[in-house]
């Protein structure tokens, strides 16, 4: 499924009329206003002949969202050969077809709701082999200076959030620049789009950083670890289980990253800190 590729870059297009709609209303003083709001539409995902889930999404990158979701839910294996991905915008469906026969009726019975917004879901056996995942601590290092520069670059870029709000973003970066920037009504959708694009385009996870505008929850940690990305950063805060899982997997977990400030609660070895007063 994964093929080698040249460097990929992809960023939001705030001018995409499919994703944002103008809505008329009134402000606090009774004046008429026209406000840009994000679209939200259902997308039903099938794996071969099995209906898996209906997700609420802004509607862009349905192929990447479908593949990333299936990978992160362990319904696809990294070695699976995808034979087709069919998206029908008229009926809001996407069908992923694989060479290997799949059957997930029992797994679907164990579905549980996560702490993510927009009704994110995980399955009861999502953690079944998490203890076997360990990210190597040797090699890749990130300086605090580079981290601040990356966050500044992300915040300066045009985005749907800056146009319409009500969205989360996830950004895949290397040690010098943002590479892939995805947005959606839930952070789990945004990270699944990145996972799907990485799988379909053959983007290697080593020496990458994942930035999210959402909370650093267990779900975000598990997905990042499964994707093989060694550093997860957020402008938001942490959950205790997220920190515990990150430490267990050697995932560098950096939160409350705003301005010059940030906190590292797991695997600080990858971060090169500045000398006090520098």
The rounded Cα 109 to chain-centroid distance in angstroms is 25
Residue 247, CA atoms < 13 Å, CB-side half-sphere: 10
CB 238 within 8 A of CB 253: yes
Residue intervals of the chain classified under CATH 3.40.140.10 are 142-272
User: How many angstroms separate the CA atoms of 152 and 133, rounded?
Assistant: 31
Pull the structure tokens for residue 157: 């870029």
CATH for 142-272 (3.10.20.30, 1.10.8.60, 2.30.30.100, 3.40.140.10):
3.40.140.10
Q: Which residues pair with 233 in a beta bridge?
A: 211, 254
Tens digit of each residue's pLDDT, the chain (278 residues): 333 334 568 988 888 888 999 999 999 999 999 999 999 999 999 999 899 999 999 999 999 999 999 999 889 998 999 999 999 999 999 999 999 988 776 666 655 445 455 444 555 556 667 888 899 998 899 999 999 999 999 999 989 888 888 899 999 999 989 999 999 998 899 999 999 999 999 999 999 999 999 999 999 999 999 999 999 999 999 999 999 999 999 999 999 999 999 999 999 999 998 766 55
Residue intervals of the chain classified under CATH 3.10.20.10 are 41-125
Q: What is the pLDDT of residue 201?
A: 93
Q: What is the pLDDT of residue 131?
A: 80
User: How many angstroms separate the CA atoms of 20 and 204, rounded?
Assistant: 32
User: How many angstroms separate the CA atoms of 100 and 49, rounded?
Assistant: 12
User: How many angstroms separate the CA atoms of 92 and 134, rounded?
Assistant: 37
Q: Could you tell me if residue 186 is left (phi over 0), alpha (psi between -120 and 50 degrees) or otherwise beta?
A: beta
Q: What is the pLDDT of residue 138?
A: 87
Assign a CATH topology to domain 41-125: Ubiquitin-like (UB roll) (3.10.20)
């Amino acid at each position: 499924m994964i093929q080698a590729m040249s460097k990929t870059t992809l960023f939001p297009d705030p001018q995409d009329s499919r994703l944002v709609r103008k809505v008329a209303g009134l402000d606090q003083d009774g004046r008429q206003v026209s406000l840009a709001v994000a679209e939200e539409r259902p997308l039903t995902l099938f794996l071969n002949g099995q209906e898996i889930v209906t997700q609420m999404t802004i509607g862009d990158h349905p192929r990447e969202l479908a593949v990333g979701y299936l990978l992160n839910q362990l319904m696809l294996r990294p070695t699976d050969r995808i034979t087709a991905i069919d998206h029908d915008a008229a009926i809001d469906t996407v069908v992923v077809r694989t060479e290997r026969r799949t059957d997930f009726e029992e797994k679907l019975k164990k579905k549980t709701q996560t702490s993510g917004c927009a009704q994110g879901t995980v399955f009861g056996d999502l953690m079944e082999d998490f203890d076997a995942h360990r990210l190597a601590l040797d090699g890749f290092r990130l300086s605090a200076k580079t981290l601040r520069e990356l966050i500044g670059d992300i915040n300066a870029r045009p985005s749907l959030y800056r146009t319409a709000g009500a969205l989360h973003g996830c950004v895949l970066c290397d040690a010098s620049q943002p590479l892939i920037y995805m947005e959606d009504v839930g952070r789990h959708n945004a990270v699944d789009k990145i996972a799907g694009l990485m799988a379909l385009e053959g983007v290697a996870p080593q020496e990458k950083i994942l930035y999210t505008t959402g909370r650093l929850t267990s779900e975000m940690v598990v997905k990042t670890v499964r994707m093989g990305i060694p550093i997860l950063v957020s402008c938001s805060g942490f959950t205790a289980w997220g920190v515990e899982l990150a430490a267990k997997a050697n995932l560098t977990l950096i939160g409350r990253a705003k301005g010059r400030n940030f906190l590292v609660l797991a695997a600080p070895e990858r971060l090169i800190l500045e000398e006090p007063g520098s």
